[in-house]
Chains A and B, each alone.
Chain A
Amino acid sequence: MRVACYSDEGSSLLRACRPARALATLAVLAALVAGCTASGSGDVDRTAATGGTLRVANANEYGDQDPHDYNGDWFIAPMVFETLVKYGQGGRLEPGLATSWQVAADGLTIDFELRTGVKFHDDTPFDEQAAKWNLDRWVGKESHSWLAASKIIKAVEVPGPMKLRLRLERAYDPLLQELTFTRPPGFMSPKAVDASGKFTKAIGTGPWRLEQITTTAASLVRNDGYWGAKPKIDRVEFSVRKDSQTRVSALRAGEVDMLGGSYLAPISPTEAVTLGKDERVTVLHGDPDITVMLGFNLNGIAGDKAIREAVRYALDRETLTKVLYAGQAKAATTLFAPGIPDAGAPQSLPFDPDQARRILDAAGWRQEGKGRVKDGKQLVLSLRIPSTAAVGWQDSRLSAQAVASALGEVGITVNIVAVDEATFYDDLHAGKYDLAFMETYGAPYDPSGFVVGFLTGDRKDPGLWKTDEVERLIDGALYARDAATRAKNYQDAWAVLNREAAFVPIAYRPRVWAVGPAVKGFQVPHTEYDFDLSTVTLQR
């Protein structure tokens, strides 16, 4: 492992960059992107020859690449399609297809100044009409209702040439952050659809144009007319290799040049260790910005607070993290990792099985044989896991067995229920579980993305913790018009979760990448959504 560095410089840039007052005008130069990254694969070789083809393994298949739908690939989309604003290091908003933006004092309108001289890959110019056409294509549509932006944007207006105005239902500061997601806020050529408005071809403004794509292979070529920093390499070829170990073998054997991320081609902790020992390969660790945790279903037996508290005390998260993640993650104590905006201060969560036993005894759960009983009811928690093979960091089978064994020590019987993927997600949705592993999204979604999905909403799924008290605090944070209010609301929410032992944080895990010997100048992307190859060169 030549390079493995964590960035501890707590990237609260989003908060820092966000002005204390209502008006926020940001015009940051695009050149900022290079240089301020936390980790990289060593020195960029300036003399390296440019050109060449980068071969990247991909774990998932490619569906339709319509940026306003969700079948496409997470990595190809941001290479082809761009957004008005981009998510920079630590959550800083950077200009994209908009050079600047202005949020009105009441927070109800946002004005964008669009970038001039930008053309789609089919030479259609990017202008205010094209921009409006794109937004109209998804804003307010039912299938995008998960995204607050889709519901909050009331109207898209064109106040003048190269100008775009969004009218909002109510003030919502995370909106700009939502607009950095590629799907659905990515922009495509209005000519990329047929007469009926159906998507035909992936034509964007990004640094790469899609050359060819099937469900299992894709090739992209450099967009020489790109407005920003042009990539140095000529082509990128993606090929789908579903099996994690096969991807590792392919990288070691030099068949592909790059793996990594949580979605592109996840590397498991064990594989990262193996790859680290291989001198042909360079392993890169990003910020540990994703929290792995155990969630409870409050509608079942885990509604009993004593049980939740006992589970918290019964898990030795330091050792678990070491064994499950091969020493590459950190034991977690909070909902969000320190680098995530508004993550809050570390909590004290000691490993104390005796305390767990005492709590259960006090709550009336008598030890009987190996398990515990209260009023004739057995203390059994059902832990749902998907039965499919481990994906990257989440080896549910292994983690489940470790948790079951640890909880067994204090008399909590864990019944591991392995179901296939379709049933698993259905069961999570229907609340058919007592315990389940959950993960935060990491950048750029968190904290707003995760809290909206797991702490609020009138859906029937249990989420992580949905009570009126927390929902009120979360709403207070989401719609806060200043950073202090937001921070206060978030911290209060975290305090409630902590008081209620609402979940059990286990580890903060990094996104891990690995590159072959030819790849120079690659940096771990800021987000799972941003595959910036502008600094990469190949040396074969």
Chain B
Amino acid sequence: MNGLLVRWTRRSARLAAELALVLGITSLLAFGLIALAPGDAATRLAQQRAGHPGVTEDQVASARRELGMEGSIPERYVRWLGHAVQGDLGKSARTGRPVLTELAERVPVTLSLAGLAAVVALPLGMLVGALAVMLPWRPARRGLRLTGLLAVSLPTFWVSYLLVVVLTEQLGLLPTSADGGLAGYVMPVVVLALPAVGLLSRVVAVSLREALAQPYVRAAQARGTPTVSIVVRDALPNVAGAVLNTIGLIVGGMLTGALVVETVFAHNGIGDYFVQAVNFRDLMAIQACVLCFALAFTATNRLADRLHGRIDPRVSSG
């Protein structure tokens, strides 16, 4: 037990170190890139105040002072980092509110959308993929395969437009946004889940076919192993491995999908916040978003690795 505790502690420490490294590097990169990019939050703020693009140097300088944007880029980064490690992510240049408050409003929106989409997409994608291989009727298999591929071939925003026009404007069945309660989640979740279902179903179908083509499946068949046992014990680990390997892709897809559905369906989440922050060069907000994204990615990828290691001993030993 003691050994287990030591191993656990060491693992956690390694994970924490890795997270810190990833967050440090991404925040540094993002900070540098945005600071060097054309466009400047201080000018924007002064322009927003004045109501027109022509502002004096004094007005810009005053806005720059207020936003704490004085000094060289390294200086500013160090200052930001110093505050960030104390949990202070600064104030948004665009809204004047603390970034943490805004994140607290927005992250749950995106998480609930992505979470619901994942809850729908995971079982559905796996089911469609499995049926596309296992169904005894060939036209049905082909139909499922095409459906899965089509789901990853359509521009998300176009699907969203069509859904809104048909389901909301014409039929009046579903509300456009979160104000409509749970019903307001139906369309965005469907749009988010659609490519994930498509991707998963194809990954599952191909990996299942690969798994079934493995000599050990034929060997199991030759031993008279029941089908259920073959699927669960022999094919599933391979399929699960393939699915875990696509987790990163799916999370990335959900994030890009969130940029679309949050706009079209007026769910004001972090994807939309990020786009606005970029458009305002709202550095504090951008940094916070980048940290969130990096955290989400690293965490899901590590979790997937860990699970994969559990399922397939070759991964952990190799």
Q: Do chains A and B touch in the complex (CB under 8 A)?
A: yes
Q: Which residue of chain A has the shortest Cβ distance to B52 in the bound complex?
A: A453
Chain A contacts for B278, CB-based, 8 A: 420, 422
**Contact between A425 and B66 (Cβ–Cβ < 8 Å)?**
no
- Counting CB contacts under 8 A, is A144 at the interface? yes
Contact A246/B169 with A215-B105, A255-B180, A425-B44 known, Cβ cut-off 8 Å: no
**Contact between A216 and B268 (Cβ–Cβ < 8 Å)?**
yes
**Contact between A461 and B50 (Cβ–Cβ < 8 Å)?**
no
CB distance from B167 to the nearest CB of A (A): 9
- Counting CB contacts under 8 A, is B265 at the interface? yes
**Contact between B43 and A243 (Cβ–Cβ < 8 Å)?**
no
Report the separation of the CA atoms of residues A142 and B62 in the bound assembly, to the nearest whole angstrom.
Answer: 7
Report the separation of the CA atoms of residues A146 and B49 in the bound assembly, to the nearest whole angstrom.
Answer: 8
- Counting CB contacts under 8 A, is A319 at the interface? no
CB distance from B68 to the nearest CB of A (A): 15
Q: Apart from A144-B49, A241-B266, A250-B177, list 11 A-B contacts with CB within 8 A.
A: A61-B94, A61-B268, A64-B96, A142-B62, A143-B49, A388-B279, A422-B38, A429-B55, A453-B51, A459-B54, A459-B55
CB distance from B270 to the nearest CB of A (A): 12
**Contact between B179 and A425 (Cβ–Cβ < 8 Å)?**
no
Report the separation of the CA atoms of residues A441 and B53 in the bound assembly, to the nearest whole angstrom.
Answer: 13
**Contact between B175 and A243 (Cβ–Cβ < 8 Å)?**
no
Task: Give the residue among A243, A255, A458 with the most B Cβ atoms within 10 A.
Answer: A243
Report the separation of the CA atoms of residues A66 and B95 in the bound assembly, to the nearest whole angstrom.
Answer: 11
Contact A64/B49 with A246-B164, A253-B176 known, Cβ cut-off 8 Å: no
Chain B contacts for A167, CB-based, 8 A: none
Report the separation of the CA atoms of residues A450 and B50 in the bound assembly, to the nearest whole angstrom.
Answer: 11
Cβ proximity bits A421-438 to B, threshold 8 Å, 1 near / 0 not: 111011111000000000
Contact A146/B97 with A215-B105, A255-B175 known, Cβ cut-off 8 Å: no
**Contact between A453 and B54 (Cβ–Cβ < 8 Å)?**
yes
Chain A contacts for B66, CB-based, 8 A: 143
Partner of B268, one of A144, A240, A458: A240
**Contact between A146 and B51 (Cβ–Cβ < 8 Å)?**
yes
- Counting CB contacts under 8 A, is A449 at the interface? yes
Partner of B164, one of A249, A419, A423, A441: A249
Chain B contacts for A241, CB-based, 8 A: 176-177, 266
Q: Which residue of chain B has the shortest Cβ distance to A63 in the bound complex?
A: B95
Q: In the A-B complex, list the 6 residue pairs whose CB atoms are closest, starting with the nearest.
A: A422-B39, A63-B95, A146-B50, A453-B52, A71-B96, A428-B53
- Counting CB contacts under 8 A, is A62 at the interface? yes
- Counting CB contacts under 8 A, is A245 at the interface? yes
Contact A255/B94 with A216-B268, A420-B39, A425-B44 known, Cβ cut-off 8 Å: no
**Contact between A145 and B264 (Cβ–Cβ < 8 Å)?**
no
Cβ proximity bits A282-313 to B, threshold 8 Å, 1 near / 0 not: 00000000000000000000000000000000
**Contact between B59 and A64 (Cβ–Cβ < 8 Å)?**
no
Q: Which residue of chain A has the shortest Cβ distance to B277 in the bound complex?
A: A422
Contact A429/B268 with A71-B96, A255-B179, A421-B280 known, Cβ cut-off 8 Å: no
Cβ proximity bits A145-184 to B, threshold 8 Å, 1 near / 0 not: 1100000000000000000000000000000000000000
- Counting CB contacts under 8 A, is A463 at the interface? yes
**Contact between B95 and A423 (Cβ–Cβ < 8 Å)?**
no
**Contact between B97 and A64 (Cβ–Cβ < 8 Å)?**
yes
Partner of B40, one of A55, A246, A426, A457: A426
Chain B contacts for A463, CB-based, 8 A: 54
Q: Which residue of chain A has the shortest Cβ distance to B178 in the bound complex?
A: A239
For this complex, into which size category does the number of interface residues on chain B fall? 35 or more
Chain B contacts for A441, CB-based, 8 A: 51
- Counting CB contacts under 8 A, is B102 at the interface? yes
Partner of B280, one of A242, A243, A422, A445: A422
Cβ proximity bits B182-210 to A, threshold 8 Å, 1 near / 0 not: 00000000000000000000000000000
- Chain B residues 81-96 with CB under 8 Å of chain A are 92, 94-96
Cβ proximity bits A447-463 to B, threshold 8 Å, 1 near / 0 not: 00110011001111101
Q: Could you show 27 A-B contacts with beta carbons less than 8 Å apart?
A: A63-B95, A64-B95, A71-B95, A71-B97, A142-B62, A143-B46, A146-B52, A146-B55, A146-B59, A239-B177, A241-B177, A241-B266, A245-B164, A246-B164, A246-B266, A249-B165, A253-B168, A253-B176, A255-B176, A419-B38, A420-B278, A421-B39, A423-B39, A426-B43, A454-B54, A461-B53, A461-B54
CB distance from B145 to the nearest CB of A (A): 34
CB distance from A262 to the nearest CB of B (A): 12
Report the separation of the CA atoms of residues A144 and B281 in the bound assembly, to the nearest whole angstrom.
Answer: 22
Chain A contacts for B272, CB-based, 8 A: 242
- Counting CB contacts under 8 A, is B246 at the interface? no
Please give the residue numbers on chain B whose beta carbons come within 8 Å of chain A beta carbons, in ascending order.
37-41, 43-59, 62-63, 66, 92, 94-97, 102, 105-106, 161, 164-165, 168-169, 172, 175-177, 179-180, 263-266, 268, 272, 276, 278-281
Q: Which residue of chain B has the shortest Cβ distance to A147 in the bound complex?
A: B50
- Counting CB contacts under 8 A, is A500 at the interface? no
Report the separation of the CA atoms of residues A214 and B49 in the bound assembly, to the nearest whole angstrom.
Answer: 21
- Counting CB contacts under 8 A, is A69 at the interface? yes
Chain A contacts for B276, CB-based, 8 A: 61
Chain B contacts for A445, CB-based, 8 A: 51
Report the separation of the CA atoms of residues A421 and B265 in the bound assembly, to the nearest whole angstrom.
Answer: 22
**Contact between A255 and B177 (Cβ–Cβ < 8 Å)?**
yes
Task: Give the residue among A62, A241, A253, A426 with the most B Cβ atoms within 10 A.
Answer: A253
Report the separation of the CA atoms of residues A459 and B47 in the bound assembly, to the nearest whole angstrom.
Answer: 12
Chain A contacts for B57, CB-based, 8 A: 459-460
Contact A425/B43 with A453-B54, A463-B54 known, Cβ cut-off 8 Å: yes
Contact A239/B179 with A69-B96, A144-B49 known, Cβ cut-off 8 Å: yes
Contact A246/B94 with A426-B38, A429-B53, A453-B54 known, Cβ cut-off 8 Å: no
Report the separation of the CA atoms of residues A220 and B62 in the bound assembly, to the nearest whole angstrom.
Answer: 33
Q: Which residue of chain A has the shortest Cβ distance to B179 in the bound complex?
A: A239
Contact A142/B59 with A69-B96, A255-B176, A422-B39 known, Cβ cut-off 8 Å: yes
CB distance from B132 to the nearest CB of A (A): 34
